[in-house]
Each structure stands twice: as structure tokens, then as C-alpha cells.
Amino acid sequence: MTARQQERLQRRDLALQAWASEHVIELDRLDEGQRWVVFAGLRGREVVGTFSPLRRALSFFLAKADMGLTDPVIAAVVGVSDRAVRVTKTMEAGQLLDSIAQVVRGHRQPKLRAEHAGIVARLLVDNPQVEAPEMIQALEAEVGVTVERHTLARYIEHYGLGCLRERTVEDRPLFWGTPLTEAPSS
């Protein structure tokens, strides 16, 4: 190995060690090829800075590189959430370009909008003992949108629809999963 190659390897190792300690990543789990790809991603992140469309493109390339990088590693390289990486992974190249081309100002438009409150209310009144998974499936069938449990919980709370669900002392609230213990926590 030449002196120049050793110098480049040392620079890479120092940069990766600093990055790994900052993001609590175990470098031992990355093979040599993955380390070079992560290093290239870190260098690319320095170039694109905080410009979101290019960060998303970098995330797309790292996710599609088929190098076995996990979502948390890619998220730490690019500086986004694991969820953003998962969403980017499901996109095709054309979809990524379309999403980058559409400038989003402020927050994204919610999937469940104010006009859906009547449908949600009807679902709660028609089936007062409904649990979250059934509610999510019913919303997908009725409205054609898929939401997560916490999104639906915030929506119901925001529009004050929780009162439409009958509860007895034994009932679990709508957004609880199966309790881990029999006794409630204090």
C-alpha cells in the first residue's frame, strides 16, 4: 500500500470513528466496503449540507446501493429519521424525482382532513367497541387513506371524537395494545 493510500485510509478511519461515536454506531459491524460507502456518504452530506432535496437523493442512493446498510446507519449518515429512510427506500427513482420537484412549504397536507371527521365519527358511533387496527382498516376502506395509530389518536383527540366511544371500567382505550401486565401502572 502506498503512502497516499495509507493516508487516505487513516483520514477515513478518523472520520468514521468520530461519526460512529457521535451516533452510537458500532463500526465493527460494518465491513470494508460498507465503511467506504458510509465515508463517501458522509463526504456527500458535507457537500449537500442542509439542502433537503439532495439529502433525500443521497438517502435514496445509499438505500438502493444494496450494500447491506441498515436504516439507522443511513439515517445517521444523511441526518434524517429512520422513518424518512424507510419511506425513501420504497420509492422508485421517478417517484423520488417527482417528490423532490414538488416544493413543500410548511407541513405536508394531512391524509385525514377535517372533512373526514364525519366519517370517523360515524365509524365510532356504529361500532363503539372498535379497536385501533379495525378502525384503521375501516378508514382505509371508507376514505382510501392509511394512517398510523398515533396519527389516528391525535386526529380523534383534535376533533374531540373520543367521547363517541363507549367505555366501561374493563375496556381498554382505543389506542392501547395488549397490556404487558394485568395490573395498571401507578
Sequence spans of domains, the chain: 3-101, 114-164
pLDDT, residue 1, reads 83
Of 186, 155, 159, 183, nearest in space to 175 by CA:
155
What letter does residue 79 receive in the DSSP assignment? T
Q: Are 123 and 139 within 8 A, CB to CB?
A: yes
For 3-30, what is the mean pLDDT?
Answer: 91
Phi and psi for 143 in degrees, rounded to 5? -105, -25
- DSSP per residue, 86-113: HHHHT--HHHHHHHHHSPPPSSPPPSS-
pLDDT, residue 166, reads 57
pLDDT band at 109 (very low <50, low <70, confident <90, very high): low
pLDDT, residue 146, reads 84
For 84-97, what is the mean pLDDT?
Answer: 91
